[in-house]
Amino acid sequence: MEKDNNRGQWGSNFGFLMAAVGSAVGLGNLWGFPYKMGVGGGFAFLLLYLILVVFVGYIMLNTELALGRKTGTGVVGAYRAISTKYTAIGWMGAIAPFLILGFYSMLGGYCMKYAVSNLGDLFNASWGVNSADGGEFFGTFISNQAESSIYTVVFIALTILIVLRGVSKGIEKFTKVAMPALFVMLVIVIIRSVTLPGAIEGLEFMFKPDFSVFQGTGWITVLASAGGQMFFTLSLAMGIMVAYGSYLPKTQDINKNAMIIPIADTVIAIMAGLAIMPAVASAGMEFGAGPGLLFVTLQTVFNGLGIAGPIFGFIFYALVFIAAITSAISLLEGIVSIPVDKKLKETGINQRTKYTWILGILVMIEGVLVSLDGLGTYFPPLFGKFIWLDGFDLVSEGILMPLGAFLTAIVFGWIRKDVLVDEISLSSEFKSKKFYLFCLKYLAPVMMLLVLVGQINSFFGLGWF
Ligand code: PHE
C-alpha cells in the first residue's frame, strides 16, 4: 500500500498529451478507421468525420477534461461531486471501460502473439508463422484456448505493472517513449506499403470521394458509423478523459489540449490507412475491418513480402501492440481511479496498489473468459451475441457510451452550464466559449442519440435505414 496520499499529477503537458493520445490511438484507429473510411465514401467520410470531431469530439473532450480537473477525482466521484443525482452517469463511465478491457486485452494478446511469431520467422524458429496461410494460422491460434488465454493474461499483467507505478512514474513515463516509437514505426511501414506495386488501388479505396453513399437514408448509416468511430477512438464517455483531466495541473490549457488530441488521433488514423490499405491492395486481398483485417489479411500480406516480410510483420504488430497497451492502460486507470479516490477522500491513504491488483485480476478473469470463447467457438451467446466480444462491444460501445455522452451533454449544456466553462477559462482565454456551449447544448445530444439508434440498428441488423 502506498503511504503517500498524493493522488499524482502529470509531470509535464507533453507527458499528459502522450498519455491522452496513447489512449485515443488504439485498435479503433488501426482496424476501424481505414475500412470505415473506404466504405463510407472516402474523402466524403473524412469530411463528415472531421465535422463531427470539431462539433462533438472536441466539445466532449473539453467537457470531460474539465470535469476531471474541476472535481479532482475519478469518474464516479466526479459526477457525484456535481450532484448526487448524476452519480449514475458516472457509473456508466465505469462499467463501459471494464467491459471493453476484457476483449481489448484479448486482442492486445493477439498482437503480442503475432509480433512474437514474426520475430520467430526472422530466426526460422519453430514458433514462427512459417509461411502458414494467414487464415489457418489465426484459426489454429484462437482455437488453442490455453495459448490465447496466456497471451491475454500476459498483456493484462503488463498493463497492471504500468498502472501500479502511478500517473507520472508509470503511465506518463511509458507513453512518453512508446508513442513517439509508435509514430516512427508507422512511418517505416507506410514507406514500405505505398511503394509496393499496385499500392495505388489501396489509396483509391480509402480516399476516392463517393458521395453516393449519402443518398436516401444512407447518410444516417454513415453518420452513425462516423459518430461511433469518433467517440470510441477519442476514448470518450469512458471516464478516462475525466481521470486523465483530474491529474492535470490548473495551469495547463485544457482547451488547447482538447484540440491537439483529436488532431493527433486523426492524423494517426489516416496514417494507419496509408500503412494498411496499399499493402492489402498490392497483395490482391479483400479490404476489410476488425480481427480479420489485422490478423488474417495482413499476416498473409507479410507472408508474401519474402525475406522482408517478418521484419515488417514484427514492426507492424509491435506498433499495434503499443497502440493497444497505451489504450488498455487508460482503461484500467479509468476504473482504478474510482475506488482509489474514494478511499483517499475517506481515509487519506492512497491505495492504488491494492485496487490496481483487485481490478486488474477481475479484468484478467473477464479477459480469459473472452479468450476461451475464441471468437464465438465455444460458449453460448451473451447479450444475444454469438461472439462474446461482440456482446461486450454492444453493451459498452453500442449503448453505454452514446447514452453516457448524451446525458453528459444535457447536464453541462442545459443544467449546469457555468461549472465547466469556468474551469476551462482558468487556464485559457477560451475564445470558443460560445461555440462550445452551443455545440454542447444542441449538436452533441442530437448526434449522440443518432449514434445510439444507429449502433442498435446495426448491431441487431434491424434494417431501420
Ligand atoms: N481509443 C481507443 C481506440 O481507438 C480505444 C479506447 C476506447 C480506449 C475507450 C480507451 C477507452 O482503440
Would you identify the CATH topology of the domain 13-460?
Answer: Amino acid/polyamine transporter I (1.20.1740)
If you measure from the C-alpha of residue 264 to the centroid of ligand 1, how many angstroms do you get, rounded to a whole number?
14
Q: Given this model, what pLDDT does residue 462 score?
A: 82
For the cut 90, the answer to whether the pLDDT of residue 28 exceeds it is yes
Q: Given this model, what pLDDT does residue 437 score?
A: 96
Mean pLDDT of 207-235: 88
pLDDT grade for 386, boundaries at 50, 70 and 90: low
Atom of ligand 1 minimally distant from the CA of 330:
10
For the cut 70, the answer to whether the pLDDT of residue 18 exceeds it is yes
For the cut 70, the answer to whether the pLDDT of residue 426 exceeds it is yes
Largest CA distance in the chain: 64
Mean pLDDT of 189-212: 94
If you measure from the C-alpha of residue 229 to the centroid of ligand 1, how many angstroms do you get, rounded to a whole number?
10
Name the burial class of residue 11, with classes exposed (0-12), middle (13-18) and buried (19+) by CB atoms within 10 angstroms of its CB.
middle
For the cut 70, the answer to whether the pLDDT of residue 457 exceeds it is yes
Q: Given this model, what pLDDT does residue 284 score?
A: 92
State pLDDT tens for residues 289-306.
888 899 999 999 999 998
Q: What's the mean per-residue pLDDT of the chain? A: 92
If you measure from the C-alpha of residue 320 to the centroid of ligand 1, how many angstroms do you get, rounded to a whole number?
13
Q: Given this model, what pLDDT does residue 355 score?
A: 98
pLDDT grade for 3, boundaries at 50, 70 and 90: very low
Spatial distance between the Cα atoms of 341 and 53, rounded to a whole number of angstroms: 31
Ligand 1 within 6 A of CB of 235: yes
Instruction: Tell me the best of 36, 64, 235, 395 to mutate to test the pocket of ligand 1, counting ligand atoms within 8 Å of each CB and taking the most.
Output: 235
Q: Given this model, what pLDDT does residue 454 score?
A: 83
Closest CA to 151 of 465, 423, 364, 442: 364
Instruction: Tell me the best of 327, 331, 397 to mutate to test the pocket of ligand 1, counting ligand atoms within 8 Å of each CB and taking the most.
Output: 327
pLDDT grade for 337, boundaries at 50, 70 and 90: very high
Which residue is closest in CA terms to ligand 1's atom 6?
235
Task: Tell me the β-bridge partners of 382.
Answer: 385
Ligand 1 within 6 A of CB of 330: yes
Ligand 1 within 6 A of CB of 232: yes
pLDDT above 70: percentage of residues in the chain: 97
Q: Given this model, what pLDDT does residue 332 score?
A: 98
Which residue is closest in CA terms to ligand 1's atom 9?
235
Ligand 1 within 6 A of CB of 236: no
Ligand 1 within 6 A of CB of 240: yes
If you measure from the C-alpha of residue 97 to the centroid of ligand 1, how many angstroms do you get, rounded to a whole number?
9
Q: Given this model, what pLDDT does residue 1 score?
A: 36
pLDDT above 90: percentage of residues in the chain: 77
Beta strands (DSSP E) in 241-395 are none
Place of cell 448526434: 447
For the cut 80, the answer to whether the pLDDT of residue 429 exceeds it is yes
Task: Tell me the β-bridge partners of 385.
Answer: 382
pTM for this entry: 0.94
If you measure from the C-alpha of residue 216 to the centroid of ligand 1, how many angstroms do you get, rounded to a whole number?
31
If you measure from the C-alpha of residue 131 to the centroid of ligand 1, how many angstroms do you get, rounded to a whole number?
32
Q: Report the SS3 class of residue 441.
A: helix
Ligand 1 within 6 A of CB of 331: yes
Ligand 1 within 6 A of CB of 233: yes
Atom of ligand 1 minimally distant from the CA of 240:
11
Spatial distance between the Cα atoms of 270 and 281, rounded to a whole number of angstroms: 16
Ligand 1 within 6 A of CB of 428: no
Cα distances from 346 to residues 34, 339, 342, 343, 392, in angstroms, run 47, 10, 6, 5, 33
State pLDDT tens for residues 152-166.
999 999 999 999 999
For the cut 50, the answer to whether the pLDDT of residue 2 exceeds it is no
What are the extents of the domains in the chain? 13-460
Return the C-alpha cell found at 246.
483530474
State pLDDT tens for residues 108-121.
999 999 999 999 99
pLDDT grade for 139, boundaries at 50, 70 and 90: very high
pLDDT grade for 377, boundaries at 50, 70 and 90: low
If you measure from the C-alpha of residue 42 to the centroid of ligand 1, how many angstroms do you get, rounded to a whole number?
22
If you measure from the C-alpha of residue 193 to the centroid of ligand 1, how many angstroms do you get, rounded to a whole number?
25
To the nearest 10°, the Cα dihedral for 284, 288, 290, 292? -40
For the cut 80, the answer to whether the pLDDT of residue 72 exceeds it is yes
Q: Is 64 left (phi over 0), alpha (psi -120 to 50) or beta?
A: alpha
Ligand 1 within 6 A of CB of 24: yes
Instruction: Tell me the best of 103, 232, 335, 363 to mutate to test the pocket of ligand 1, counting ligand atoms within 8 Å of each CB and taking the most.
Output: 232
406 CB-near residues (< 8 Å, 6+ apart)? 444, 445, 448, 449, 452
Name the burial class of residue 177, with classes exposed (0-12), middle (13-18) and buried (19+) by CB atoms within 10 angstroms of its CB.
exposed
Place of cell 498524493: 6
Closest CA to 426 of 256, 286, 217, 289: 256
Ligand 1 within 6 A of CB of 327: yes
CB atoms within 10 A of CB 208: 12
